[in-house]
Amino acid sequence: MRIATWNVNSIRARTARVVDWLQRADVDVLALQEIKCRDDQFPHEAFEQAGYEVVTYGLNQWNGVGFASRIGLADVTRDFPGIPGFGKPLPDGTLPIEARALAVTVGDGVRLSSLYVPNGRELGHPHYDYKLEWLARLQEDTRRRLEAEPQTLLALMGDWNIAPLDEDVWDIRVFDGATHVSEPEREAFRSFEALGLRDVVRPLVPKGYTYWDYKQLRFPRNEGMRIDFVLGSPAFAGAVTGASIERNERKGDAPSDHVPVLVELDADSPLDDDRPMIF
């Protein structure tokens, strides 16, 4: 099974690129972030013609997540328990929930979440507090799920908007006093690892960025960030056989500022065989 995650930064602007890559890379399931459209605006036909079933969670021209799968989609769940909102209060006093989390089950019981973690904007900004609360609530929901089903093949995939290590940015000095590298954000990322989740890509791809800003020739200068991750449960991590960061997808006409992160999974093999656990 080949599973990938990609912040596409507007699916309607990049439909042909995404569908073409899905077929070239022989991907079974793709988690999408920043689709930037309502569900009814998503280009379903192009994906369906390529053999992919699609489910999306898009409310407006911002945010939005989804899945494209050629091996089925089941148990579709939007949001997660306790997910916080952000923005102008609604008439009932609650804050609007943004389209940032979608979970599905694919194949033989593999549970995947497509996540677009809030950016945070800047230290001290209300959006930064929202980001930390959002991650805390997600961590709590993940803890409950893993305690209830410790053997589940589960992965949290997407744009985390956190660079957990100094080497995950091109020059840590540039980020002094900025979001994405602050200690509270990094501690939030580590809280998922404390649950037993593992970054299943880094052991196989130790170096490499997943995002390059459009500004200031960041990509030609390789001034990037590693902020897109696949965090897998022990059972999921034990089934991983390969991984890659698809850097070439940042090239060419009208690319996203992120590239796909791909994981190969032997989901049908027993987990107690002789293959080494990569975490």
The per-residue pLDDT for 267 is 72
Domain locations in the chain as residue ranges: 2-265
The per-residue pLDDT for 125 is 97
Does the structure show a pLDDT above 60 at 263? Answer: yes
* Cβ-proximal residues to 220 (8 Å cutoff; 6+ apart), any chain: none
The per-residue pLDDT for 276 is 36
Query: How many Cβ atoms from other residues are within 10 Å of residue 241's Cβ?
Result: 14
Mean pLDDT, range 261-267, rounded to an integer: 94
8, 10, 13, 14 alpha-carbon torsion, rounded to 10°? 20
Q: Which of 254, 228, 229, 261 is nearest to 15 (CA)?
A: 254
CATH no., domain 2-265: 3.60.10.10
3-state secondary structure of 149: coil
Mean pLDDT, range 231-255, rounded to an integer: 97
How does pLDDT run across 89-142, given as a tens digit for each residue?
A: 999 999 999 999 999 999 999 999 999 999 999 999 999 999 999 999 999 999
The per-residue pLDDT for 41 is 97
* Cβ-proximal residues to 164 (8 Å cutoff; 6+ apart), any chain: 186, 189, 190
% of the chain exceeding 70 in pLDDT: 96
How does pLDDT run across 151-189, given as a tens digit for each residue?
A: 999 999 999 999 999 999 999 999 999 999 999 999 999
For 9-71, the DSSP string reads: S-TTTSHHHHHHHHHHTT-SEEEEE---S-GGGS-HHHHHHTT-EEEEE--SSS--EEEEESS
The per-residue pLDDT for 272 is 36
The per-residue pLDDT for 268 is 65
Distances (CA, A) of 17 to 29, 49, 111, 120, 219: 16, 14, 26, 29, 18
Query: How many Cβ atoms from other residues are within 10 Å of residue 268's Cβ?
Result: 9
How does pLDDT run across 11-36, given as a tens digit for each residue?
A: 999 999 999 999 999 999 999 999 99
3-state secondary structure of 85: coil
Does the structure show a pLDDT above 60 at 274? Answer: no
Which pTM value belongs to this model? Answer: 0.94
- Pairing between β-strand 65-69 and β-strand 53-57 as defined by DSSP bridges: antiparallel
